[in-house]
Structure 1
Amino acid sequence: MLGNFSFGDYFKPQAIAWAWELVTQVLQLPPEQLVVSVFQADEEAFAIWRDGIGVPPERIQRLGEKDNFWVSGPTGPCGPCSEIYFDFHPERGDAIDLEDDTRFIEFYNLVFMQYNRDTEGNLTPLQNQNIDTGMGLERMAQILQRVPNNYETDLIFPIIQTAAAIGAIDYATADQSTQVSLKVIGDHIRAVVHMIADGITASNIGRGYVLRRLLRRVVRHGRLLGIQTQFTAEVAATAIALAEVAYPQVRAKAAVIAAELHREESRFLETLERGEKLLAEMLQSETQQITGRDAFILYDTYGFPLELTQEIAAEKGLSVDLEGFEVEMQQQRQRSQDAHETIDLTVQGTLDQLAAELHDTEFLGYTQVSATTQVKALLVAGKLVKAAAPGTAVQLILDRTPFYAESGGQIGDRGYLAGEAVLIRVEDVKKESGIFVHFGRVERGTLQGGDQLTAQIDLACRRRVQANHTATHLLQAALKLIVDPTISQAGSLVAFDRLRFDFNCSRGLTSQELHQIEEQINTWIAEAHTTEVAVMPIAAAKAKGAIAMFGEKYGDEVRVIDVPGVSMELCGGTHVHNTAEIGLFKIVAETGVAAGIRRIEAVAGPAVLEYLNLRDHVVRDLSDRFKIKPEEIPDRITSLQQELKTAQKQIESLKSELAVAKADRLFTHAEPIGDLKILVAQLGEVDADSLKIAAEQLLEKLGEGAVVLASVPEPDKVSLVAAFSPTLVQKGLQAGKFIGAIAKRCGGGGGGRPHLAQAGGRDASQLPEALAEARRQLHYQLQTPFQP
């Protein structure tokens, strides 16, 4: 008990004395290089520093509410602060300006949580007062090591030095922009290393997108330093060495980190140069803003995070149309959702209107496959009606149901609703908040709102989906066991006839790994593990090791599906009671669906027999067609592929010869310009590769000059090529820049080397004008008169 001691009498003196003891005696900072700040109205703190600690009054600064009064929000606990600053340059004199961050750095803070602020702004003493105190680790490292910023401490500077060595840069003598790029690399690489060690992989969503943004910013700043090759893994090795003592798991993941960095850096470098060229063209335009459409093209096509486009634009004094970018993003989201079936907007609107009247649907499906129920709302085409005739598509809301509603990747149940004189076939069930919407069709009789019905799910479909859902859990367990324990779910689909599982992984799985996974899952199935289901607090579930899907929202109570010794996940879906009920498991395909995201498609239970029967039919058909045994099919296909490859080469060769023959007939049409010759022409339907060969051979015959050829190999597809001799290149003409500008007239673009470049377009109707412009530009740039 503190007796009659007040907060100011006891706690403040103690906290301040302990802070001073720590920084002056333990950390041994010179008192004469310390400055203290207090809230301007806090006389208690000022007196304690001056009289109790002995800090000279001129080294105690009174600051206003902005700097020295901590609040948790507009209302709630709050109180005055007192901070300790370190003076890096006492030689500059006695004048103290704490805003000068080149000299003073705040590193220690004491928050005296004394008051509660109400909605009127009134302060009243808290019943339970406390002090929140602490200091910045990296700032203290900066002070103890006497370096000008956090980046030059031993926490980050070795990483910066590695990057500088790769770029052959002397950090100490480098200009400010170079140092900034090195600091970005040092800071971001350290973050990226820990993110990958924690199981995050680069992607376009969530935390994976944060990782991608950081890494791509590192790569760009590396290019600004003149580093043209891959370097992130080498820099990361230094970051790993710095972290491994405190974070041994980082060293354990060194190979994973290097592989992820190499993969993502390779992917970005492939498109970075083209994206940078496109962005440079945008920046050279007269506009003061990059359009949302252009920013989206950079993001969607070239992998430029919006933040990177903003950063580069800001360097040139330009802005980005963020609203326009968001419009483009929303359109893309809509396109991606077109194939995803959701509750119709009309139905949604009706549900919103009924929300106050409807209670959450009671779900009985975990323990019951049939139940009596009542129609609480009857909708046709999303609108509330009183009755529905035979043949009508309806949406039903019931008071209770055994039908599972689509969620967690598992599709909704099918089945029937029956009354005395009415039968409804249920084709799907979806859920909006806690309301289940049954989509179906009236098979016979007239359905009335308020009818009492018997709900019966399709047991065969339910058993199939249960087998697939439990198999999905086994699949995730097998992936963690055989491939990588850090693998996590990125999405799933559990249907009646198949399952699909998306997961974070930076590489494709080998055929051996897929075989091992399949074999392991079938072993667990044969071992007949009993499935245990429990509902418990989420904290208890996580403590038991249950896996939660990243980004999923869970309540205080969660449902845990446990296959003892094999898998334990948080899941609201339906499952088999014993793994033996699954029967068999077969992987159908393994593919990549996005950067860092792989997908396994598989079948389980009765669907395996259907899959094998289909494959057997295909094999028998091929055997009959080729008149060979099934085991001879692979060799026969290899032979046919080789024959096709040889034939394709012959066709390509003939195409090239034909293109050259056509081009030869144009040789006499070349225009002399002094000692040079130019030829601009169209070659019908010649493909792009043959067009290039023809241009090169024509230029060789012309000698010094330029050849610009075009063709329309397919409807709505234009191919263009420009070949310039060394003399033209020496005069400053660049084939890549030249043909890219011409291609824009046909709704396209392109580029290449100074002496040879290709481009494409989509609007063949503009090709004659584009070629005419090519002639005009060649005459203009060679300073000769032009006659159409």
Structure 2
Amino acid sequence: INRPFLTELVDTVIESSEAGYPELREHEAYIKKVIGTEELRFGRTIDAGLNILNGMMSHLKEVHEKVLSGAEVFKLNDTFGFPLDLTREIAAEAGLVVDEAAFHVEMTKQRERARAERLAKDISGWSADLFGELTAEATQFDGYDTLSESAKVIALSDGEELADAIATDEAGESKDGVLVVLDRTPFYAEMGGQVADHGYITNGDAKLKVTQVKKTPKGYFVHTCELLDGTIHVGDEVTASVDTQRRMAICRNHTATHLLQKALREVLGEHVHQAGSYQDDKLTHFDFTHFSAVTPEELRKVEDRVNEKIFEALPVTIQNLPIEEAKKMGAMALFGEKYGSVVRVVDAGGWSTEFCGGTHVTNTAQIGCFKILSESSVAAGIRRIEATTAYGVLNLLDERTEQLAKTAVALKANNLKDAPARAEALTAELKETNKQLDILKAEMASAKIDGLFENAADIDGVRIVSAYLTGTGADTLRDMVDKVRDKAPNAVTVLIGSDGSKTMMAVGVSKNAQARGLKAGALVKKIAAIAGGNGGGKPDFAMAGIRDTSKIDDALNAVPEVVKAEMQ
């Protein structure tokens, strides 16, 4: 089969499986789109991988070796998605073998790195050791209804082992990394894309600053704290208080994310589904399924639609409902996510209805306003919008106003209103100046060429024009080489120039000189190599970068010898 074909199988799979998985029929168009797109991308991956693999195999043949490096094959697999079994088959056809033992060593290292990264981000790794043996009831979360309440400490740890009590040191210095488990808490634990609450845990003797909260598999909310003062004991009665302003900012961004998803589905189409999200007190990231960049006009429509719903002051209600009843309401669920028989449904005025366990405002007007900051690609068929609300929008406005004010000053504009016209005037002025500068450079180059011919060496009838010209960029070098080639049909020109940021070599071979077997591409490689450079090009013109500027004189002095060796 030499064409994309997997989408042709989707109908059969859905027909045979929809009794147990009815959502397959519901998302049929989306499934076909994803599979079709991925199959095309894989085809392109194979093409790109083949080019790289062929280069690797050609190199082995040049050095008379027959074993493909395991590290290189792993890189081909890890970076470009090229399968090991395909590499093995292609290599075998070419009489080569793959060092699979080394490949699997690299694969193991990669898995260990990925596992370490997951454990660094996820609580489950250390929670199994620290709190897995607790027999107390799971922490009761009360944070939907209250932001401050009394609670009891049921477990403590310094991050290494459980402890009955933890205190500041003798000097009264605070202690980081104190882990506290409470019987109940108003602190939201990081989950579902929403960050954890911050705040304080206090009693008469101790004060702890809460900087992270995660939920263990057994349901314990683990508060990561800095013990600012005193001693905390297991069994202590404490007051747990969430940072109210930060929680409210998170709520605004989370509810705005729901509105954003609904607006995207209206503007882009029903194929849009959530593919990930993140909300903190500063902004929201929303990842969604879509197969092309969202246009500026579409983004404007989405932003306007969200703000329209904010200004309508829609009530935001939350209910715990049987899942079938929630679906009848039209509540959006994450495709592929597993839900219990009862789900939490967040409804914004009947316009946006979603399954969600996060915290939200009670009315869309509390969001204030909504602003999209960026739109980008994060994976195949997945786009990301970053946005902010309320104080984030005001801060953005202040920041951009300050930037505009500084720009106006730099442009010597009288005020912000005059800045665009002033910028246009300066751009036109700069364009004219550059035009005059190009004319001047061309005149200077012509003058230099006449001087270069005076000192040109003659190698068996071929004139050698060479020089190092400071303050000369690649474009000027190219123009000068062209002029020499037009002026002298039997010349080889080697010019090195530096514009302050990089040093380049340009080589030109005139028509009659080419007839003597001289080629610019071959000459530039040999001459530039003397100064640590490399390059190439056509028979009449070639360029190379120069790395070791201390060897420029050596390279130019070698030109006659190199030309003589290449001449027929």
- Normalised to the residue count of structure 1, the TM-score between the two structures is 0.56
Q: Which one has the largest radius of gyration?
A: 1
The change in CA–CA distance for 1:763 and 1:483 in structure 2 (over 3 A counts) is farther
Partner of 1:306: 82
Identity of aligned residues (%): 35
Secondary structure, in 3 states, of the residue corresponding to 1:372? strand
Partner of 1:405: 189
| 1:634 corresponds to 2:420 | yes
The change in CA–CA distance for 1:693 and 1:489 in structure 2 (over 3 A counts) is farther
Q: Structure 1 residue 460: deviation in Å?
A: 1.0
Spell out the pairing of 1:311-710 with structure 2 (5 A cutoff). 316-318=94-96, 327=106, 343=120, 350-358=126-134, 361-380=139-158, 386-389=165-168, 390-399=173-182, 400-431=184-215, 433=217, 436-448=221-233, 451-535=236-320, 545-549=330-334, 558-563=343-348, 565-592=350-377, 597-619=382-404, 626-648=412-434, 672-677=458-463, 683-684=469-470, 686-704=472-490, 706-710=492-496
Secondary structure, in 3 states, of the residue corresponding to 2:224? strand
- More contact order relative to length (CA 8 Å, sep ≥ 6): 2
The change in CA–CA distance for 1:751 and 1:208 in structure 2 (over 3 A counts) is farther
The change in CA–CA distance for 1:726 and 1:513 in structure 2 (over 3 A counts) is same
Query: For 2:111 and 2:518, how far apart are their aligned partners in 1?
Result: 39
The change in CA–CA distance for 1:714 and 1:642 in structure 2 (over 3 A counts) is same
The change in CA–CA distance for 1:341 and 1:314 in structure 2 (over 3 A counts) is closer
Residues paired across the two proteins, number? 540
Query: For 1:189 and 1:776, how far apart are their aligned partners in 2?
Result: 64
Most deviating of 325-334 and 557-566: 325-334
Partner of 1:213: 42
Query: For 1:325 and 1:735, how far apart are their aligned partners in 2?
Result: 46
Q: Calculate the aligned-residue CA RMSD, in Å.
A: 5.1
Query: For 2:561 and 2:344, how far apart are their aligned partners in 1?
Result: 73
CA offsets, 1:707-748, max 9 Å, x none? 455556567x55444444456767887655775788788888
The change in CA–CA distance for 1:691 and 1:408 in structure 2 (over 3 A counts) is farther
Which structure 1 segments of 5+ residues have no match? 1-182, 221-267, 784-788
Partner of 2:30: 198
Match of 1:288 among 56, 61, 66: 66
Query: For 1:685 and 1:273, how far apart are their aligned partners in 2?
Result: 43
Query: For 1:316 and 1:615, how far apart are their aligned partners in 2?
Result: 60
Secondary structure, in 3 states, of the residue corresponding to 1:184? coil
Q: Structure 1 residue 465: deviation in Å?
A: 0.7
Answer whether contact 1:373 1:398 (CA < 8 A) is retained. Answer: no
Answer whether contact 1:199 1:487 (CA < 8 A) is retained. Answer: no
Q: Structure 1 residue 641: deviation in Å?
A: 3.2
The change in CA–CA distance for 1:274 and 1:580 in structure 2 (over 3 A counts) is same
The change in CA–CA distance for 1:623 and 1:368 in structure 2 (over 3 A counts) is same
Q: Structure 1 residue 369: deviation in Å?
A: 1.7
Instruction: Tell me the amino acid that sits aligned with residue 212 of structure 1.
Output: R
CA offsets, 1:560-609, max 9 Å, x none? 43335433334332222222221221223344556655443322133333
Query: For 1:727 and 1:556, how far apart are their aligned partners in 2?
Result: 86
Query: For 2:433 and 2:500, how far apart are their aligned partners in 1?
Result: 21
Q: Structure 1 residue 290: deviation in Å?
A: 5.1
Query: For 1:332 and 1:740, how far apart are their aligned partners in 2?
Result: 42
The change in CA–CA distance for 1:481 and 1:703 in structure 2 (over 3 A counts) is same
